[in-house]
Amino acid sequence: MKSLLKIENVKKTYGKTSNAYTALENISFQIERGEFVGIMGPSGAGKSTLLNLLATIDTPSEGKIFMNDKSIHDMKEAALSDFRRDNLGFIFQDYNLLDSLTVKENILLPLAITKVPAKEIEKRVQKIAKVFGIEALLSQYSYQISGGQKQRTAAARAIVTEPALILADEPTGALDSKSATDLLESLSSLNANNESTIMMVTHDAFAASFCRRIIFIKDGKLSKEIYRRDQTRKVFFQEILDTLSAIGGEVDDVI
Amino acid sequence: MTLFSLARRNIARNFSQYFLYIASMVFSIVIYFTFVTLKYSDIVSKMTETSQKMGSLMSGAAVVLIFFVAIFIAYSNSFFMKKRKKEVALYALLGVRKRQIGLMLFFENLLLGVFSLVIGIFLGFLSSKLFVTILIRLMGYDVVAPFTLSTEAIINTAIVFFIIFFITSFQGYRLIYQFKLIDLFHASKKGEAAPKPSWIVAILGLLSIGTGYWLALQNLLTSEAWRILGMFTPLVILATVIIGTFLLFHSVTGFVLSLFKRREKWLWKGLHLMTISQLLYRVRGNARTLTVIAILSATTVTAGGAVYSLYYNINDSVKLADPNTFMYKQAANVDNDKVTSLLPATIYDENVSALFVTFEAKQLESAMSIDEDKRIYTVIDETTYNKLAKLQHKEELQLIDNKATIIDVDYHENLSPKYAGKTITAEKGTEITLKGYHDVPVLNFKAGMTLVVTNEHYKELEKQGEPVQFRAIGVDDATIDLSKGIASSLPDEAQFSSAPEDYQSGIEGMGSLLFIGSFLGLVFLAATGSIIYFKVLTEAEEDKSQYNMLYKMGVSAKEMRKTVASQVCVVFAVPLIIGLAHSAVALTAFSNLFSMDFTKPVIIWMLAYTTIYGIYYVLTVYSYNRIITQNNKNEG
């Protein structure tokens, strides 16, 4: 089977040639279907830039990104929109929920966009709400619920369309440890039970320990790659910490 | 559930955000609709039929209004769109096609426009009744305003605003195409570049304004600059002042603020640091807005001030033109007894003897005179002048050295001839030397240019001119009806002149001018206030988290109110002061041109403007504080 995502020699520079800043350089890796990949690295390493490139809201300066063997940055605007709609789900650090819609409406927004029939929408929303434990909140407005509940809503919105790839940008960044654990466990079980492919950017070793594979980035370059295999989460957590101190990431930053 | 129904729901629930935008559109429509209703109303169209000037004035004002309303709506539209960028970006990220998002924004905007149009026309219909009543009052008519809905006005308004809405909706459509997705996401996070004030730019700004002022205050006829620039001078003045104002805001304000920043003793006390830094951070991005506000204020105050001054001076000009309440020339078929029978109790009723004498007056040529050597003057003697002056409670005149004096109420230093020392010669050789001019008339304007000579000269001239008799009557509280009654009993040859009649026509002409002037003034003022209001409240939304942080740091609500009040004060006061300065210069130039004293009405007008402007300030500070406290309460 072919890889879901293939990233080839991607480079991203910002600014004019005179004082250009290289955010990413020589990045190549692949993600297979059903993987749960974490991207780690200290602040400013280029994690979010990489995610923006995958999210197609930014374009690489050099190199190509293939998804299902299609170069996503060579697509036309309309095709790109369809591609995002059908293949990608996003979870942001700051949730990006619409305050004027209820939790339910926020979750069904992408389904409404894809013109799924109302009956089907209802079914899917109920199902995904159960996964994230937010059934009781469905009729509330997003400004009425807590940060952890907002993030679970955002995750539900990302997943409700059953996208080929879920992109999560520091999803636990603003959450307390209980909410973070709840969310990560939901993502983890989605990955295990539904074979959803998830790529999560984080600088938090605890969050990363839920992943199956972790790619480390430092100063815009790939630095190391580790697999969880059949280790327990605790052991994997320790391995992540060790790797981080080995490659010289700021240990302060990861605790 | 479709995307459109979600979008519609979004509008309904986000109404407070939409409210400001809709309110500003409704406001524009009300103003415009009221104005066109007046334009098409029976009373005004009757007036425009009789007076060409009034018609073109109304059309001109309508064009100014359209222009203004379009700018205003475009402005609030861009504010509104800025707020929605994130929502739009989310739709795009969830995979809605750009074209679809564009169409959605387009139709949403158009729908909001139509909605506002309906409300606006309804409110405008109500307000036009009020304004027609005011207009009639100002023009001194005594009729009840008819309450009619004009289809012409509705069609006119609908067409104008559909065009405006179509254009703004198209802007909304283009929003998604203009920006990269990543920019849309970070739109609200992007800061304004810190201003880098430069001496050169600051000095250029001051120089530019100085040039504009200097040109405006030049004498129209003798100035070299006006001669060279000719018809373009007003444009040059406008351009230099506008550019100068922009540069001023762009650099000079930055300088002043950096000076404050250096005084650490003062700066590091309470929230001064916050106030100055915020202003400094915003000031450059605001240079354009502040310029617009300053120029709008200047235009409003100048136009309103000029018209109001003329209106204010009508009474004085009538007193100058008609010192006697009624006056007419005796002629063969004049029935004096009938006039007497019409008159109520009079203060005085005099027969005045005068002479129409033709003079050779080559010496009196001036910049404005057409080559006319012969002039007919109405000659009266010193005794007659003083008798009338006494009756009219004016100072008596003392002719010395056997010299005469000319009565010239419109004397203008540059336009009128220099009278002093000049000699004019009657046809049969009597030479009269002038002492100068005198600006207190005793005969009505229709009697012609009056020459007051010594009693001796008068006797000498009696044989050289045509003797006439005027009947001058002084009446307290004369009505227009009385004036009309007398006028109808007199033949044309009597050249009847009447103070109440002239006052009435002055009020009619100036009243409508005043109405249009103050109406437009009101519009500009309201719009200026609204622009600042919009701007400041958008900033409040952006900054509320900062204030929440301060709140958490233990800053008291009182101190926060203080820093908000002073920040907003600068945004309001600086353009107001500059606008007032601009209009003071413009009105000085204007009053020089008319050689009238405008000080008092202009000060009244400026005070009125500043007061309403002040109300906007208070309102803005109040709303700003409300946003902050509300946010602090929610965030805890």
The pLDDT tens digits of the residues spanning B370-411 come to: 556 677 888 888 888 888 888 888 888 787 777 888 887 777
Asked if B290 and B396 sit in the same domain, the reply is: no
pLDDT at A37: 93
Residue, of A196 and B369, whose pLDDT is higher: A196
Residue, of B35 and A250, whose pLDDT is higher: B35
Report the percent of chain B where pLDDT is more than 90. 6
The helices-and-strands tally (H runs, E runs) of chain B is 22, 9
Give the structural domain span for B91: 1-190
Asked if B1 and B96 sit in the same domain, the reply is: yes
For A209-249, the pLDDT digits (tens) are 999 999 999 888 888 889 988 888 899 999 999 888 888 65
Residue of B nearest to A79 (CA): B97
Q: Whose CA is closest to A13, among A56, A63, A80?
A: A63
Residue B450, helix vs strand vs coil: strand
Please indicate whether, in this complex, the C-beta atoms of B182 and A58 are within 8 angstroms of each other.
yes
* Range among A236-245, B210-219, B326-335, B437-446 rated most confident: A236-245
Asked if B380 and B410 sit in the same domain, the reply is: yes
Asked if B598 and B622 sit in the same domain, the reply is: yes
Asked if B28 and B150 sit in the same domain, the reply is: yes
For B243-281, the pLDDT digits (tens) are 898 888 878 777 787 787 777 777 777 677 777 777 777
Asked if B8 and B68 sit in the same domain, the reply is: yes
A79 touches chain B (CB under 8 A): no
Asked if B36 and B184 sit in the same domain, the reply is: yes
- Is B32 a member of any domain? yes
A42 touches chain B (CB under 8 A): no
- Is B63 a member of any domain? yes
pLDDT reading at A97 higher than 50: yes
For A30-63, the pLDDT digits (tens) are 999 889 999 998 877 888 888 888 888 788 888 9
pLDDT at B187: 45
Asked if B300 and B259 sit in the same domain, the reply is: no
pLDDT at B188: 44
Q: Whose CA is closest to B490, among B322, B380, B326?
A: B326
- Is B485 a member of any domain? no
pLDDT at A255: 42
User: What is the average pLDDT across B290-311?
Assistant: 82
pLDDT reading at A115 higher than 70: yes
- Is B244 a member of any domain? yes
Asked if B352 and B411 sit in the same domain, the reply is: yes
Instruction: Name residues whose C-beta falls within 8 Å of residue B210's C-beta, 6 or more positions apart in sequence.
Output: B244
The domain tally of chain B equals 4
Task: State the CB neighbour count (10 A cutoff) for residue A172.
Answer: 26
Q: Whose CA is closest to A216, among A35, A27, A88?
A: A27
Residue, of B246 and B71, whose pLDDT is higher: B246
Q: What is the rounded distance in angstroms from the CA atom of residue B34 to the CA atom of residue B548?
A: 43
Closest CB from A52, A84, A99 relative to B95:
A84
A114 CB neighbours in chain B (<8 A) are: 95
pLDDT reading at A193 higher than 50: yes
Instruction: Name residues whose C-beta falls within 8 Å of residue B7's C-beta, 6 or more positions apart in sequence.
Output: B104, B108
Chain B closest-CA separation from residue A53 CA (Å): 10
A57 CB neighbours in chain B (<8 A) are: 89, 93, 180-182, 185
Residue, of B542 and B283, whose pLDDT is higher: B542
For B577-627, the pLDDT digits (tens) are 999 999 999 888 888 777 677 888 888 888 988 998 899 899 999 989 988
A101 CB neighbours in chain B (<8 A) are: 6, 9-10, 13
Of B190, B211, B244, the last residue of a domain is B190
- Is B326 a member of any domain? no
This model of the complex carries an ipTM of 0.71
Residue type (1 letter), B506: G
pLDDT reading at B239 higher than 80: yes
Residue B476, helix vs strand vs coil: coil
Asked if B156 and B60 sit in the same domain, the reply is: yes
pLDDT at A36: 92
User: Which tokens hold the place of B37?
Assistant: 């209703």
Asked if B140 and B245 sit in the same domain, the reply is: no
User: Which tokens hold the place of B602?
Assistant: 């202009």
pLDDT at B189: 45
Closest CB from A58, A81, A96 relative to B95:
A81
A85 touches chain B (CB under 8 A): yes
Is the CATH number 3.40.50.300 carried by domain A5-254? yes
Question: What is the pLDDT of chain B when averaged over all its residues?
Answer: 79
**Tokens 């995904």 sit at which residue?**
A128
pLDDT reading at A176 higher than 80: yes
Of B190, B213, B232, the last residue of a domain is B190
pLDDT at B369: 53
pLDDT at B577: 92
- Is B218 a member of any domain? yes
- Is B133 a member of any domain? yes
Confidence band for B118, pLDDT divided at 50, 70 and 90? very high
User: What is the average pLDDT across B2-19?
Assistant: 71
Residue of A nearest to B14 (CA): A100
- Is B493 a member of any domain? no
Confidence band for B2, pLDDT divided at 50, 70 and 90? low
User: What is the average pLDDT across B22-35?
Assistant: 85
Residue, of B217 and B179, whose pLDDT is higher: B217
Asked if B466 and B507 sit in the same domain, the reply is: no
Chain B closest-CA separation from residue A135 CA (Å): 20
Confidence band for B184, pLDDT divided at 50, 70 and 90? low
